[in-house]
Amino acid sequence: MVGLFDEPSVTYAHVAVERGVDQFPEGLSYGVPARLLPLKIGQLVTVPLGRGNTPTQAWVLSLTDEAPVLAAGKETKQIFEKDRETIALPSDLVELARWMSQYYFSPIGPTLSTMLPGPVRQGTGLVTKQLLDFADNQADECKLTTKQQQVLHALNAMPKSQRPVEPKVLMKAANVRSKSPIDSLVARGYLHCHHVTTVEATWFKHAVDATTPESLTKEQTNVLRAIEEKLQSGYSSHLLFGVTGSGKTEIYIRLIEQAIEGGGVALVLVPEISLTPQTAARLMGRFPDKRIAILHSALTKSQRHQQWALVAEGKADIVLGARSAVFAPLQNDQIRIIIVDEEHDSSFKQDNSPRYHGRDVAIRRASMAKCPIVLGSATPSMESWWNATERKISTLHKLTTRAPGLVAPQIEVVDMRSERIHGEVGYPILSTKLQRALHTTLACDGQVLLLLNRRGFAPWIACASRTCGWMMKCDHCDSSMVYHRKKPLEHAGFVRCHHCGTEQRVPKQCPDCAKKIIQLGAGTQRVEATLRESLQIPAEQIARLDGDTTRKASDLQEMLARFGKGEIRVLLGTQMIAKGLDFPNVQLVGIIDADTAIDLPDFRASERTYQLVSQVCGRCGRGQGKAIAIVQTFSPNAPAIVLASKAEYEQFASQELQFRCDASLPPVTRMVRFIVKDTPFDQAASRADSLVDRLRAIASTDISISPAAPCVLPRIADRFRFEVIGTAATSKALQEFLALARKTIKPSRDFVVDVDPISML
Ligand code: ADP
Ligand code: ZN
Ligand code: ZN
């Protein structure tokens, strides 16, 4: 409470507007009218902006009683209004946003806005409640009805902490059925009623899984001990490298248990909750009396608002969520531990501004909160591996064997080059080996997971004539059109561009030579069609899980639940099925084409392939029965595939780091990628060239700036794309360079600055 004499003397605020020019780092100064006091850092306000004093929303960055220095004749403008206090961000998040804004070269206002979930902002699910308490002047009770007296007695009997109270609760306590005694007490001045607008908080009741292993393995015990020791000693960073099924989650659970023992919150980040429902179920099951807030996209808007509000009100013990949960509305001193599961997953990187990496922001948060952070993975990112093994800024912990009762899958690599069907064009979708394994597995009631990381029916539409060479391209992008069937077993279809979404009809014949059109290659739809035609099992036991069949998050959950119950026996999908799925009866996994990632012109292609193969293969062998993984590839000798099939991560990592070192690529160096998008081509090219000039003019000798070059996808949605790559030996050097660059260049929709880029397309 602010008393009469200790009114805060704050009279000026620095704010960052949500849109428009970047006001990093200090923001714009405004006066704070007395009626808006107290004003908090992290609050959203409306300010007059520009000559027209357009009302504009802005975040309060800092407060001061020092008047800003203004040019002669100028006056400080006053803040118009403040928004609902319930959506204020904790001041520690404002600090984090400052760091992000600087590190990721993103404007500060929009960076803050990224931290606030849309539904909270919009107030979705807000309800107005009545709250009752005694009025200040109590009248004599004798003229009251029995019911009214009951109400007053009940209220009187309530502990002070429970008041003011909601009508429902008071009715129950007073044992009255109707609200009218309360209403008349309010009308007659006995009770005071005021209205509050809040979001009704509820906790989730998820499917729970409470299985607790009887004892930890020796390896688990050692790892747990080593990390436990650091729980109370401020910031520390740990990389938990454990093969899939080695019991990493079990370690997380025990660490969380201890970390939050005396209060405080554990923050747990996973790549995508709807893909890892089991992690949520296990946490729920193992912490029945803890309050777990879940932040993810599959919730309704009002649920998302509720969960956020619960965290902001300090009511959650554990916060579980995907990338943006790193912005859980907590102050630093509330956080006891941060866990990032599947830390290598590229979905932690946001691909629009601010282009932050959830794992890296989490590391920063942990260091600000002075608590430990545990990054877990069976296939650590090169960044984390480098940090743990070479830079030694985090501690490596290993779990080398699968948990008791789990078997390591037997992985077989199939060379597709020798699978050519006699007398036919092209290659089969399923190799003989995979076909046989499918039949045997189904015959002994096992379940199957099949992965193909490509949607649609066929990735290419081309002319049948070998001499013609026509291939259908998108009119707006430099990419081929993908053929989609309307239904997997019907021939009707259309083509779509996966980059800009343009759809077209399939031409009847080649526009160049009038020969027949053919569909080349295979996407998930084609695999589905092949399976439906070749497997002798009821249609409903086969399902396809990809972006096209799971438009809604609930579709996905339903499909996974059906797979869990055994109703679906063959589940085919894109990398969505490669994540944390944990189904004991999966006896066979097949990777239809392990080369989808290897062929990408991206220096992380090999790393991605290793991860994909190894993660997918880890989906089997979690129960009784056999565990076979079959990897189909046209590059059976590629190190990523050979080593992943032998589960030789460390060898792969050391070879890969050697390559990065030789080629001066991350994580050995640090990178920033600039993308200029423009039309026509010449204009894009000359803008990119002049960017190179400007960057080279400010770059110290520590920084190398590449020449401008067309991106791997040189045109998307009619805009030509050029990239310029900046490389520095250290993050510090890169940051110093970016700080200089910030004075002259401004990111925008057609000018992207991507620090620590993950995708090079
Ligand atoms: P990861 O997270 O590394 O994939 P999990 O923690 O999910 O591994 O463990 C895989 C399975 O093994 C789970 O069903 C888990 O309950 C079980 N498990 C983990 N640790 C043990 C243990 N010490 N003894 C028996 N079972 C265990
Ligand atoms: Zn297109
Ligand atoms: Zn042709």
| Gap between the Cα atoms of 170 and 158, Å rounded | 9
- Ligand with smallest separation from the Cα of 515: 3
| Lowest mean per-residue pLDDT among 12-16, 17-21, 152-156, 521-525 | 17-21
pLDDT at 633 over 90: yes
Tell me what pLDDT residue 8 has.
46
pLDDT at site 4: 41
Atom of ligand 1 nearest to the CA of 243: 3
User: What mean pLDDT comes out for the span 176-196?
Assistant: 87
> 274 — alpha (psi -120 to 50), left (phi > 0) or beta?
alpha
Residues in the chain: 761
Please identify, by atom number, the ligand 1 atom nearest to the C-alpha of residue 406: 12
- State the ligand closest to the CA atom of 218: 1
Confidence of residue 491 (pLDDT cuts 50, 70, 90): confident
CA 384–ligand 1 middle distance (angstroms)? 23
Q: What are phi and psi of 476, to 5 degrees?
A: -110, -10
Q: For residue 246, how far is the Cα from the chain centroid?
A: 24
Question: Rounded to the nearest whole angstrom, what is the distance from the C-alpha of residue 421 to the centroid of ligand 3?
Answer: 24
pLDDT tens per residue across span 37-92: 889 999 999 999 988 999 999 999 999 988 888 777 778 899 999 988 778 999 99
Which of the 8 DSSP states describes residue 530? H
Asked if 16 and 59 count as a contact pair (C-beta separation under 8 A), the reply is yes
**Distance separating alpha carbons of residues 497 and 142, to the nearest angstrom:** 79
* Residue 416 dihedral angles phi and psi, to the nearest 5°: -70, -20
% the chain with pLDDT above 90: 65
Q: Which of the two residues, 629 and 202, has the higher pLDDT score?
A: 629
> What average pLDDT is seen over the chain?
90
Say what the pLDDT of residue 139 is.
Answer: 62
What tens digit of pLDDT does each residue of 218-243 get? 999 999 999 999 999 999 999 999 98
**580 confidence band (pLDDT: 50, 70, 90):** low
Residue type, 546: D
If you write DSSP's letter for every residue of 167-225 in order, what string do you get?
A: HHHHHHHHT-S-SHHHHHHHHTTSEEEEEEEEE--------------SS--HHHHHHHH
How many Å lie between the centroid of ligand 1 and the Cα of residue 246?
A: 6
The pLDDT of residue 670: 97
> Quick one: which atom of ligand 1 is closest to the CA of 242?
3
Ligand whose nearest atom lies closest to the CA of 378: 1
Q: Counting atoms of ligand 1 from 1, which one is nearest the CA of 246?
A: 3
Distances (CA, A) of 27 to 30, 62, 68: 10, 9, 12
pLDDT of residue 109: 93
**Do the Cβ atoms of 238 and 375 come closer than 8 Å?**
yes
CA separation for the pair 307, 294 (Å, rounded)? 6
Name the band, by pLDDT with cuts 50, 70 and 90, for residue 124. Answer: confident
Residue of the nearest CA to atom 6 in ligand 1? 247
Distance 513 CA to ligand 3 centre (A): 4
Task: Render pLDDT for 445-472 as a digit per residue (tens, 0 to 9).
Answer: 999 999 999 999 999 999 999 899 899 9
Pocket of ligand 1 (CB under 6 A): 211, 213, 216-217, 220, 242, 244-250, 403-406
402 C-alpha to ligand 1 centroid (Å): 8
Of all protein residues, whose CA lies closest to atom 10 belonging to ligand 1?
Answer: 245
CA 428 to chain CA centroid, nearest Å: 36
Ligand nearest to the CA of 509: 3
Whose CA is closest to atom 20 on ligand 1? 247
Flag whether pLDDT at 249 surpasses 60. yes
Is-cis flag, bond preceding 164, omega within 30? Answer: yes
Q: How far is CA 515 from CA 315, 458, 510, in A?
A: 68, 19, 5
- For residue 517, which ligand has an atom nearest its CA? 3
Q: How far apart are CA 178 and CA 168, in angstroms?
A: 10
**pLDDT score recorded for residue 697:** 95
Residue 127 has pLDDT above 80, yes or no: no
What pLDDT shows up at residue 490? Answer: 84
53: left (phi over 0), alpha (psi -120 to 50) or beta: left
Atom of ligand 1 nearest to the CA of 582: 7
Distance of CA 185 to the CA centre of its chain: 51
Give me the mean pLDDT over the 476-484 stretch: 94
Q: Separation of 247 CA from ligand 1 center, angstroms? A: 4
Q: Which atom of ligand 1 is the closest one to the Cα of 214? A: 24
**Res 51: pLDDT:** 87
Closest CA to 283 of 304, 264, 302, 255: 255
pLDDT at 423: 61
Q: Are 483 and 457 in contact (CB under 8 A)?
A: yes
Distances (CA, A) of 749 to 98, 459, 562, 597, 712: 21, 29, 42, 28, 19
Q: How far is the CA of 470 from the centre of ligand 3 (A)?
A: 5
pLDDT tier at 6 (50, 70, 90 boundaries)?
very low
Cα of 525 from ligand 2 centre, angstroms: 20
What is the pLDDT, as a whole number, of residue 582?
78
pTM reported for the whole predicted model: 0.90
Counting atoms of ligand 1 from 1, which one is nearest the CA of 217? 23
In this predicted model, what pLDDT tens digit does every residue of 539-555 receive, in sequence order?
999 999 998 888 877 78
Q: What is the CA radius of gyration of the chain?
A: 30
What pLDDT score does 1 carry? 40
Tokens standing for residue 707: 């020449």
pLDDT score for 137: 67
Q: Calculate what percentage of the chain has a pLDDT beyond 70.
A: 95
Average pLDDT, integer, range 434-442: 95
Confidence of residue 206 (pLDDT cuts 50, 70, 90): low
User: Whose C-alpha lies nearest to ligand 1, atom 15?
Assistant: 247
Helices (H) and strands (E) in the chain, counts: 21, 30
> Token digits for 632?
């189909």
Give the pLDDT confidence score for residue 2 in this predicted structure.
40
User: Packing angle between helix 218-228 and helix 248-259, nearest 10 degrees?
Assistant: 30
Is pLDDT at 495 greater than 80 in this prediction?
Answer: yes
Structural contact between residues 457 and 525, judged by C-beta atoms closer than 8 angstroms? yes
Q: 685 alpha carbon to ligand 2 midpoint, in Å?
A: 20
